[in-house]
A = this chain, B = another copy of it.
Amino acid sequence: MSKVILINPFAVPAGKEEACLAFWEQAAEFMRRQPGYISTRLHEALSPQAKFHFINVAQWESAEHFQTAVDSERFKELTAPYMELFPHFPGLYKVVRT
């Protein structure tokens, strides 16, 4: 197992920024308590024209740890009401160039 980086861009409808942030904080608070979670940085766009108003970049101990957290019933309950309101595109990454 090796460390992975979760990157999750959120497409936020205009005027829904605060609702999206509240949703993200709920999910983040759960994720912080899961095995394998290391850290997170939520980025907010400087321009209202950005395609993705929020982009989360988090570190996990392994892909397996992250997947276990995502597959948990509690996480599904937390995120289900918001899945369609805030289209988002999570993926796991490694750094290949610096």
List chain A positions with a Cβ less than 8 A from chain B.
Answer: 4-5, 7, 9, 21, 24-25, 28, 39-47, 50-52, 55, 57, 63, 89, 91-98
**A46 neighbours in B (Cβ, 8 Å):** 4, 63, 91-94
User: What's the Cα separation between A52 and B55 when bound, in Å?
Assistant: 13
- Write the chain B residue with the least CB distance to A44: B96
Assuming A45-B92, A46-B91, what are 20 further A-B pairs, CB within 8 angstroms? A4-B46, A7-B43, A7-B55, A9-B52, A39-B98, A40-B97, A40-B98, A41-B95, A42-B97, A42-B98, A43-B95, A44-B93, A44-B94, A44-B95, A44-B96, A45-B91, A45-B93, A46-B93, A46-B94, A52-B89
